[in-house]
Structure 1
Amino acid sequence: MRTSMRDGCLVDYLCRDAVATITLRREHKLNAFNAELVRDLAAALRRFDEDANAQVAVLSGAGRAFSTGADVRERQARTVEEFERLGGPQEPDAHSYQLFNRSVNWKPVISAVHGHVLGLGLGIAFETDLLVAERGTQFQITETPRGLGGARYWGLLRFCGATAFGTEVALTGRYFTAEEAHAQGLVTRLAEVGEAQAVALQLASEIAQNPPLSVRATVRARRWFIESLCREIAAQTDPMKLYLTSDFREAVNAFLERRPVAPFSGR
């Protein structure tokens, strides 16, 4: 039985046989991330890190999708004054970029994804240590057509092994499939429809047979290099403040109004 960490929590946590399952449960919004979901996922990852009975975690999303990314209405449809006060679309205490490096024990996390894995959800999936995807799963760096830029996700894909392919999907913002991602070495294992969780749990069980500290040494080193790369990218792109541009505002308004975007101005 799944149990939430508190009443109204948007993330479920369960540990059995040394494997924790962490499930996003904002399914009525296709697990789009608002501040509350980010905070609840951070709490679940802390619980996993501190759980002496858990050696590996499997992260998945309930409902029809792993995650469709940031909740546009709650995080991107802000006023200029709000963006300037917060320093961007994400609240300072609900920043998804910090989820996997606030660790003490450095245990591995496997993503088991299906449906859609978009934007912020894509970033989270590729920051986890291994990724299992159902056939037909659709990925997209939505930040590119939205006007926020896909540099960080380009860096993640490049780190995970996709070079020219990673550059293509970061610059075009096109959808790409689990099959394409697997061919590029981005997806650890392909699963049949409805089987991503089962395949990920089997993979987690294989990992849990090893000495825990041996496994954690690899996880710690991998995440250190990812964090270093993302910090370097942020140093290049954060000063651009793309969330204050006219093109970003037009893309968000077009999304909310369900209309085609007007020609972008480059401003």
Structure 2
Amino acid sequence: MSDNTINSSAEAVDPNAGPELVISTEGMVRIFRINRPARMNAMTPNMQTELSEAFIDAGQDPGVRAIILTGTGDRAFCSGMDLKVRKEADEAGKPYRYKMTTLNRFGLEVILETYKPTIAALNGTAVAGGFEHALACDMRIVCEHAKLGLPEAKRGMGAHFSTIMLPRVIPRAIAMEMLYRGDYISAEEAYRCGLVNRVVPVGEALNAALELATAIAKNAPITIRRMKETAVKSSGLPLAAALRLDEGLNPYLSEDRKEGARAYVEKREPRWQGR
């Protein structure tokens, strides 16, 4: 897929119709695009369920070696829960079902524990639950005009996932200030504190993410999975316990290890078998 094709496909999505989640595949990369630009790509319960199922499917598909999550348009990656829908439900007397008590309670954990590389391509602003979906991914590429943040303290909400994860990703003092104040930060500020991998021009987040994902997908899939699974499962463990983790397929005992050595000596690209 060329850069022009990527950009034109973003424009081709009708903002007033079509699925809330657009799924496509480019080579060995699965792309999920949140498609509610008229509502700043705000999440609905159905979309959250569909997204969880999509990540599970991609995680189990041997033809997928990397996953990108992005949004439609250049205004917002995702603005979190659709508060207009929630306000209408509150006024109708419908009880609020806190995510940890619903079938969607594990949605962010599904992303976090998808043992393939995940990249959030922040085409626009990512706040509240949208920020948390980006935070659940391994890497983040953000357009220069985007704002990022957690306004939950200003909305009486919780930011449960970010309260746990954000201090593990960036320095704790910066994380706690973001949580306590509820203010947004710029793309450059996010880069300086290590929250995002790189800042790109408007309209280039998906292109940059696809370039990164394609490069990663060329590497040994067993090794990549082992790295992801170890990184997730070792988080918070004492060093001695983390060093003794031995989960999943062992790349040292794989056919791919032998193929990697052969390809290097023979000066050719390796042909991974994933076993």
Whether TM-score is above 0.5 comes out as: yes
Contact 1:114/1:196 (8 A) holds in 2: yes
Q: Secondary structure at the match of 1:57?
A: strand
Q: How far, CA to CA, are the matches of 2:88 and 2:234 in structure 1?
A: 33
Post-superposition Cα deviations, 1:172-227, rounded to whole Å, max 9, x if no partner, equal 10110111010001101111111111111111112112101111112123333569
Q: 1:25 to 1:81 in 2, by over 3 A?
A: closer
Post-superposition Cα deviations, 1:124-177, rounded to whole Å, max 9, x if no partner, equal 101101110111210120211111234542332211123221111111101101
Shift of 1:89: 5.4
Shift of 1:90: 6.9
Shift of 1:68: 0.7
Amino acid at match of 2:62: A
Post-superposition Cα deviations, 1:203-260, rounded to whole Å, max 9, x if no partner, equal 11121121011111121233335699xxxxxxxxxxxxxxxxxxxxxxxxxxxxxxxx
Shift of 1:36: 1.1
Shift of 1:20: 1.2
Match of 2:51 in 1: 41
Percent identity of paired positions between Structure 1 and Structure 2: 25
Match of 2:169 in 1: 160
Amino acid at match of 1:25: N
Contact 1:66/1:116 (8 A) holds in 2: yes
Contact 1:35/1:91 (8 A) holds in 2: no
1:55 pairs, out of 43, 60, 65, with 65
Q: Secondary structure at the match of 2:104?
A: coil
Q: Does 1:148 align with 2:157?
A: yes
> For residues 69-84 of structure 1, what are the structure 2 equivalents within 5 Å?
69-75=80-86, 78-79=89-90, 82-83=95-96
Q: Does 1:218 align with 2:227?
A: yes
Q: Does 1:97 align with 2:108?
A: yes
Runs (5+) with no aligned partner, structure 1: 229-267
Q: Secondary structure at the match of 1:133?
A: strand
Shift of 1:99: 2.9
Q: How far, CA to CA, are the matches of 2:40 and 2:163 in structure 1?
A: 24
Q: How far, CA to CA, are the matches of 2:41 and 2:20 in structure 1?
A: 9
Q: How far, CA to CA, are the matches of 2:29 and 2:94 in structure 1?
A: 44
Runs (5+) with no aligned partner, structure 2: 238-275
Match of 1:246 in 2: none
Between 1:47-56 and 1:69-78, the stretch displaced more is 69-78
1:132 pairs, out of 141, 144, 154, with 141
Q: Does 1:122 align with 2:122?
A: no
Q: 1:29 to 1:208 in 2, by over 3 A?
A: same
Match of 2:77 in 1: 66
1:16 pairs, out of 26, 29, 34, with 26
- Give the TM-score of the pair, scaled to structure 2: 0.72
Contact 1:156/1:226 (8 A) holds in 2: no
Match of 2:254 in 1: none
Q: How far, CA to CA, are the matches of 2:190 and 2:196 in structure 1?
A: 6
Contact 1:138/1:175 (8 A) holds in 2: yes
Q: Secondary structure at the match of 1:100?
A: helix
Q: 1:151 to 1:89 in 2, by over 3 A?
A: closer
Match of 2:264 in 1: none
Match of 2:262 in 1: none
2:213 pairs, out of 196, 201, 204, with 204
Q: 1:43 to 1:76 in 2, by over 3 A?
A: farther
Match of 1:191 in 2: 200
Larger Rg: 2
Match of 2:40 in 1: 30
Contact 2:21/2:32 (8 A) holds in 1: yes
